[in-house]
Structure 1
């Protein structure tokens, strides 16, 4: 039995498209797997709710949304990992955050009215006779909450980046804009929360399965990272300049795309990997899975036969609107693009071939590529291994079937082990040195082995090699509880090599006392 929990990159949002084309009629040049020709009427029909998605998770045949709009595809990534005897239970839901996985009695929240959290659904779907072989979790992208934006989630980030493009290139008084400016100020803290949320998700999944007769260690628990969906380097884009991104249906500025890949996608994957290491579960980094086949990437093709073949096609669904009939200069068009109307209403107003919600998600080839990575881990890789996945073939073999995994090193951890416990004084000062060959990352994590009966008496600071002082904790007279060890995560993007200094003060040495046995820094 294979179980999938998570968001749209696990549910299969965007499946059923074998590439992209601007042709909106017929079978869209062979790319639309939901299209069927009715010989009796001589017309084409489109039934994604039966041909692409699981029953009641897309919409009913009369056009209304089904029991839940989770967009669970019949060929979501997890389905490619299963063997002949495996049963697949896919509970992932498009738009899900970590809290939509957690149990309702442990901080979980219903994503849609009447739809139980994913773990509560799992309890109903699993039986003592089931043999769980793997649980895959893809979540965290929608936990990102940029302070300047109204809504959390990677989708909101993409919307804001499209808005920056539209405001820049359609002369309406906004001037040049980049979404990276707002993201830069808030992404670090927003993504560090993903680490803690993921730890909670792992713990709850393991607890729920243990209660159903599936003990920890009897199955593989896999965390999967996120792929980059647009090019990183300027030379990787198919159009000569970014002014062509509107007609190409990838309206994102190139500086923004570079920033998102290097500082959002990579940071998100680092946080998820760090959580996997902390709990000793598996991780596959998907960042490069679509490389060479990202949206609007050079040497990819649209329309006619090449668009249907994975070695030529984009593996990501483009912005599904009719760019010839939507004029982004008008505020009404902007409301349709960036407004809060339901997806189906906006899709019809914007001339979408199917659903605007599928935009910027893996298409058929992307789903299969992600699934092949999961299959490789499931069949070949150790239970708690750390892997990255990428295309293993070239030329005609540059296809989803040739995805391979390769082991990656754990994140760097450096430890200071005093010879015996050291009493906390005024202050206690300890140092450790990070080697010169450690690359700059996004975060440092302080991992203490410390004891104190009154944590409110403590002030804790770390001085980084560049001289910056990071205060982790200050005195709090009202905080009378005992110290509890755990990871403390802070942003740090500078060169980490050199001396790090830890200082701990105790405000009242005459009453409660404490000591430090060791401390570590983890860099990711």
Structure 2
């Protein structure tokens, strides 16, 4: 990783911490609820599409397989489509380890309609204000084809982060640390506050759009469930960061260039604020809610209780970080992967979804067990 703050800034200005959408060829045969193959569907942005699934932990080694962290390594080069399939071409980045794909045998088909960078407008039906994204139809219109040919049992939705400009928040806070030596939390809190009412209204409309599609396909409300989920924090509290805020280790070694005050704001104010507002939307719209604010606790980038992958600390779900660091100069993959749950984090998200799938009612928080992999995920009510 570079030691130059200005080289770091060039990369950070392009940083995209966003969300996801997928294309699905409709099946000719039609099915009514209760007939056809059962299906669980994921919709929304990058935190559910599988962005960052290429990586098993973070390593300072920039060549070859990066000490086993780079799942795109072929032995002689890099092929991200090994992880993202055909969605590598348009950047939707639907990974093979994405939440719905890692949830186990929940249904006969596990279908990912999410796309990295998507906003609520990319979920709405085209007939009701929705817009295509990255060459793909609005996700609700894609869902219509799925609902007509499968028996959809559950729809998991992650959306709203891009409406709030989460990528801009991350970029601004990192730039303030590397270049301007100033805090970001005060002005960024104001920016989020100015957008959040509109963003939450749009999340509510997204749920309405999904319900309209399902009703149009002949489903009753009791035939399926919608699970709205929140976002995990990819960075730890300042007291849980293994690098001091002075010097360049957070930038050049850890990939977490944020001041203590900004880290604490993001972890304990911003992420909970968004989660609480999303929960209120879910309750108002009759959806279940899966709270992920603490899902990465202790597994975040630079967390004291996790490690970089090295020759003495191999990639492992029990010791490695579960989120992708900020690789400001793109020495290892594109910037859009940064600050997302990685392969290990996505396996954990899949386990969370499986656990919620088994609970037909109620709202739940999903947390990890220190020192365990995805099998250690558990739910608490609330």
Question: Within 5 A, what are the aligned runs for 1:443-462?
Answer: none
The secondary structure found in structure 2 opposite 1:304 is: coil
1:250 & 1:53 partners in 2: Cα distance?
Answer: 25
Q: Does 2:369 correspond to 1:387?
A: no
Q: Flag the 1:162–1:307 CA change in 2: closer, same or farther, 3 A.
A: farther
Q: Does 2:142 correspond to 1:121?
A: yes
The secondary structure found in structure 1 opposite 2:221 is: coil
The secondary structure found in structure 2 opposite 1:213 is: coil
In the alignment, what sits opposite 2:331?
A: 352
Is the 8 Å Cα contact of residues 245 and 259 (structure 2) preserved in structure 1? no
In the alignment, what sits opposite 1:186?
A: 191
Is the 8 Å Cα contact of residues 97 and 143 (structure 1) preserved in structure 2? yes
1:225 & 1:351 partners in 2: Cα distance?
Answer: 28
Q: Flag the 1:307–1:214 CA change in 2: closer, same or farther, 3 A.
A: farther
Task: Measure how far apart 1:375 and its partner are.
Answer: 0.8
Q: Deviations over 1:419-470 (max 9, x none)?
A: xxxxxxxxxxxxxxxxxxxxxxxxxxxxxxxxxxxxxxxxxxxxxxxxxxxx
Q: Does 2:40 correspond to 1:2?
A: yes
Is the 8 Å Cα contact of residues 21 and 307 (structure 1) preserved in structure 2? no
Question: Within 5 A, what are the aligned runs for 1:89-168?
Answer: 89-112=111-134, 114-128=135-149, 130-144=150-164, 153-168=165-180
The secondary structure found in structure 2 opposite 1:45 is: coil
Whose relative contact order is higher, 1 or 2, with alpha carbons under 8 Å and at least 6 apart? 2
In the alignment, what sits opposite 1:298?
A: 304
2:139 & 2:243 partners in 1: Cα distance?
Answer: 41
Q: CA RMSD in A?
A: 1.6
In the alignment, what sits opposite 2:91?
A: 69
Task: Measure how far apart 1:6 and its partner are.
Answer: 0.5
Q: Flag the 1:272–1:45 CA change in 2: closer, same or farther, 3 A.
A: same
The secondary structure found in structure 2 opposite 1:181 is: helix
In the alignment, what sits opposite 1:273?
A: 279
Pick the aligned partner of 2:200 from 195, 204, 207: 195
In the alignment, what sits opposite 1:29?
A: 67
Is the 8 Å Cα contact of residues 140 and 210 (structure 2) preserved in structure 1? yes
Pick the aligned partner of 1:374 from 346, 353, 371: 353
Is the 8 Å Cα contact of residues 243 and 250 (structure 2) preserved in structure 1? yes
The secondary structure found in structure 2 opposite 1:119 is: helix
Count of equivalent residues: 341
Task: Measure how far apart 1:213 and its partner are.
Answer: 2.3
In the alignment, what sits opposite 1:48?
A: 80
In the alignment, what sits opposite 1:418?
A: none
Q: Which structure: larger Rg?
A: 1
Is the 8 Å Cα contact of residues 97 and 346 (structure 2) preserved in structure 1? yes
In the alignment, what sits opposite 1:240?
A: 244
Q: Does 2:53 correspond to 1:15?
A: yes
Is the 8 Å Cα contact of residues 228 and 261 (structure 1) preserved in structure 2? yes
The secondary structure found in structure 2 opposite 1:19 is: coil
In the alignment, what sits opposite 2:375?
A: 401
Q: Flag the 1:307–1:300 CA change in 2: closer, same or farther, 3 A.
A: farther
For normalisation by structure 1, the TM-score amounts to 0.63
Is the 8 Å Cα contact of residues 3 and 90 (structure 1) preserved in structure 2? yes
The secondary structure found in structure 1 opposite 2:304 is: coil
Q: Deviations over 1:130-164 (max 9, x none)?
A: 211110000011111xxxxxxxx211111111110
Q: Which runs of 4+ in 1 moved over 4 A?
A: none
Task: Measure how far apart 1:89 and its partner are.
Answer: 1.5
* Structure 1: runs of 5 or more not aligned: 38-43, 59-65, 145-152, 169-175, 322-349, 409-524
Q: Does 2:319 correspond to 1:315?
A: no
Q: Does 2:177 correspond to 1:177?
A: no
Task: Measure how far apart 1:181 and its partner are.
Answer: 2.1
The secondary structure found in structure 2 opposite 1:157 is: helix
Task: Measure how far apart 1:241 and its partner are.
Answer: 3.0
1:278 & 1:252 partners in 2: Cα distance?
Answer: 35
In the alignment, what sits opposite 1:264?
A: 270
Task: Measure how far apart 1:307 and its partner are.
Answer: 4.3
Q: Does 2:251 correspond to 1:230?
A: no
In the alignment, what sits opposite 2:36?
A: none
Task: Measure how far apart 1:265 and its partner are.
Answer: 1.1
1:293 & 1:85 partners in 2: Cα distance?
Answer: 29
In the alignment, what sits opposite 2:214?
A: 209
2:341 & 2:196 partners in 1: Cα distance?
Answer: 22
Task: Measure how far apart 1:111 and its partner are.
Answer: 2.3
Is the 8 Å Cα contact of residues 245 and 260 (structure 2) preserved in structure 1? no
Task: Measure how far apart 1:210 and its partner are.
Answer: 1.5
Q: Deviations over 1:372-408 (max 9, x none)?
A: 11110012x123x1110101x344xx22221011111
* Structure 2: runs of 5 or more not aligned: 1-38
